[in-house]
Amino acid sequence: MRTKQKIIKVPFIGDLIYSSGHTILGILLGIFTGGLLIAISGVNPFLAYASMFRGAFNSLQSFSNVLVRSSPLLLGGIGVAIGIKSGVWNTGIEGYMYIGAIGATIVAIPELGLPPIIHILLCFIVAMLFAGLWGAIPGYLRAYKGVNEVTATIMLSYVAIYFTNWIVSGSPLAQEGAYFPMSLPFAESSLLSILMKGTSLHPGPFIGLLMCIIFHIILKYTPFGFRTRMLGYNPFAAQYAGINSKKQIVMTMVIGAMLGGLGGAIEVLGLKHRLYMEFVTGVGYESVAVALVAGGEPIGVMLSALFFSILKVGGATMSIETGVSSSMASIIIALCVLFVIGVGVADSKRLKKRDEKDPGKKTLSFKMEEAVK
Partner 1 sequence: MNENSILLKMQDISKSFPGVLANDHVTIECEKGHVLGLLGENGAGKTTLMNILYGLYQPDQGKIFVDGKQVVINSPSEAINHGIGMVHQHFKLVDTLSVIENVILGIPTNKAVLDFGPAKKKLEKLCKEYELFVDPEEIVWRLPVGKQQWVEILKALYRDCKVLVLDEPTAVLTPSESDQLCRAIRKITEQGRSVVFISHKLREVIEITDKVTVIRDGKVIGTVNTKEATQSILAEMMVGRPVTIERKARPTVKEHSAVLVMKNVNAFDDRGVQALKDFNLTVHAGEIVGVAGVDGNGQRELSECITGLRKPSSGSITIQDKQVTNVIADPSFVGFIPEDRQKTGLVLDFTVAENLLIKDYKEKPYVKNGFLQYSEMKKHAEHMIKKYNIKSPSGDIKVKTLSGGNQQKVVIARELDAQPVLDVASHPTRGLDLGAVSNVHDILLNERNRGAAVLFISAELQEVMALSDRIVVLYSGQIMGELNGETADQFTIGQMMLGQTTEAKK
Ligand X SMILES: Nc1ncnc2c1ncn2[C@@H]1O[C@H](COP(=O)(O)OP(=O)(O)OP(=O)(O)O)[C@@H](O)[C@H]1O
Residue ranges that bind ligand X, judged by CB under 6 A? 355-356
State in angstroms the smallest separation of the CB of 20 from partner 1: 19
Q: Kindly state whether residue 42 participates in binding partner 1, applying the rule CB under 8 A.
A: no
The distance of closest approach from Cβ of residue 353 to partner 1 in the complex, given in angstroms and rounded to an integer, is 8
Does position 144 interact with partner 1 (CB under 8 A)? The reply is no
Alpha carbons within 13 A on the beta-carbon side of 100? 35
Work out how close the CB of 353 gets to ligand X at its nearest, in angstroms, rounded to a whole number.
9
Q: Rounded to the nearest whole angstrom, what is the least distance from the CB of residue 204 to ligand X in the complex? A: 44
Question: Which 8-state DSSP code applies to residue 6?
Answer: E
When the beta carbons of 6 and 361 are compared against ligand X, the nearer one is: 361
Which of partner 1, ligand X, none does 239 bind, CB closer than 5 to 8 A by kind?
Answer: partner 1
198 or 359, CB closer to ligand X?
Answer: 359
Instruction: In angstroms, give the least distance from the CB of 228 to partner 1.
Output: 12
User: Which whole-number Å values give the CA distances from 89 to 149, 211, 287, 317, in the listed order?
Assistant: 6, 20, 12, 33
| Contact partner at residue 117 from partner 1, ligand X, none, CB < 5 to 8 Å by partner kind | none
| Site for partner 1 contains 358 (CB under 8 A) | yes
158-197 residues in contact with partner 1 (CB under 8 A) are none
Beta strands in the chain (DSSP E): 2-10, 364-372
| CA 369 distance to own-chain centroid | 41
CB 274 within 8 A of CB 83: no
Residues 233-251 as b/e (b if ≥16 CB within 10 A, e otherwise) read eebeebeeeebebeebbbb
204 to 243: interface string for partner 1, x by CB under 8 A: ----------------xxxx-xx--xx--xx-xxxxxxxx
DSSP state of 184: P
Residue 43 makes CB contacts below 8 A (sequence gap 6+) with 322, 323, 324
Cα separation, 122 vs 114, whole angstroms: 10
Report how many residues bind partner 1 under the rule CB under 8 A. Answer: 27
Residues lying near partner 1 in the complex (CB under 8 A) are found at 5, 220-223, 225-226, 229-230, 233-234, 236-243, 352-353, 355-360
